[in-house]
Structure 1
């Protein structure tokens, strides 16, 4: 089996973030947690992932502080998975991936799921990156500076 390259000591925040998430199954688990999934069976049904893969990914997300395993809310012997504050901080990442996917992988008018504002039932505005003075920025407006 090929050993996975680790980036947990990299000086790049993107590399460390990718290392913490692990893979695409983990991002889909986090997506489902935002959508209300809490139990192993709910994740398994939604994703159709093999139980051994799901078990491994859930353990890694718990170990990484992204999910907590807590006693089941119904008092049963099972436990549930809930997003930690660190996990909830992934919300803009999930929204950005969703909006990127909507913009690049669906034909005009093609049906797809839509994230809406719970209060008003309206779709979210596109995420934007802004400078401290409020200007909208794109990749050409930024540079990576190494902080010592």
Structure 2
């Protein structure tokens, strides 16, 4: 899917890694709390950007599933495996049981969309917990720290 490769700021990894790096200039001087707060805000902004990109993939789930199914069909032909919907029962308790007619619909509803939703929620929850621990909630706090 390649959504990480489209990040507008290529140095965000450096900013995130710099937090725990003792050889970093900002870590050696006396302004470490200020520098760490600024880098946490930058990392939080990058997480928000990744969540937006994954959300775009979720919105375009039809195209994503079509591309994946084409690859699956090619591999299935090589291995002589038929791609089909798992057997649906009237009483199912361990996985969702959507009433669908094609494998594309089944995998979109039961695999792709729940996976993307779970990934986005995990990123959002993790970013919120880090912001709450440091007291940073918005980018305005970054501007305040830079002015000091």
| Fold in common (TM above 0.5) | no
Whichever of the two has the greater Rg, that structure is 2
The structure in which a higher percent of residues are helix is 2
The structure in which a higher percent of residues are strand is 1
TM-score w.r.t. length of structure 2: 0.30
